[in-house]
């Protein structure tokens, strides 16, 4: 019997990924890289890159999968010049995220893990339940940011 929490997470993830991908459709490289209000704001490309790396990392933590390599600061510097290649990259990471929530995942909500990419040094562990919920809410937040950024172009 599928875990109802994972089933719900899978549905929310699918909706979020669909909405994020729709932001990319039809964007030129200039539109992907435009910072809506100057250098201290994020482009669509930055929002998508950060959201996808973050989602994959938090879902890995939630499901006990090995965490992917991640260079968080580099996520905020991305400037793709090929929209089709960027969308293909998005599709691959989205597939990786969906695979982490496949039917055979063993979700242990109370399992704890240290967040390997946090650099603040506190090393405080989080539960798998927290990591799963954070992955989904953080992705949704950035879907909204990307949608708004696309609307102001």
Tokens of 153: 């172009």
Tokens of 42: 């994020």
Model-level pTM?
0.94
Check residues 121 and 6 and name the one with the higher pLDDT: 6
Mean pLDDT computed over every residue of the chain: 93
Domains of the chain, earliest start first: 4-151 (1.20.120.450)
For residue 79, which of 55, 44, 39 has the smallest C-alpha distance? 44
37 has a pLDDT exceeding 80? yes
Stretch 10-21: mean pLDDT = 98
pLDDT value, residue 73: 92
Model pLDDT for residues 82-94, shown as the tens digit of each residue: 999 999 999 999 9
């Amino acid at each position: 019997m599928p875990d109802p929490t994972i089933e719900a997470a899978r549905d929310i993830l699918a909706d979020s990924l669909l909405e994020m991908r729709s932001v990319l459709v039809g964007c030129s490289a200039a539109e992907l890289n435009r910072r809506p209000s100057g250098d201290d704001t994020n482009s669509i490309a930055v929002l998508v890159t950060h959201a996808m790396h973050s989602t994959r990392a938090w879902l890995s933590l939630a499901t006990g999968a090995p965490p992917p390599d991640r260079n968080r600061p580099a996520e905020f510097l991305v400037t793709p010049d090929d929209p089709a290649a960027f969308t293909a990259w998005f599709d691959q990471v989205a597939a990786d995220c969906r695979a982490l929530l496949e039917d055979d995942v063993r979700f242990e909500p109370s399992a704890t893990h240290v967040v390997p990419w946090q650099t603040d040094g506190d090393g405080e562990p989080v539960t798998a339940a927290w990591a799963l919920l954070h992955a989904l809410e953080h992705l949704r937040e950035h879907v909204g940011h990307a949608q708004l950024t696309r609307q102001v172009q």
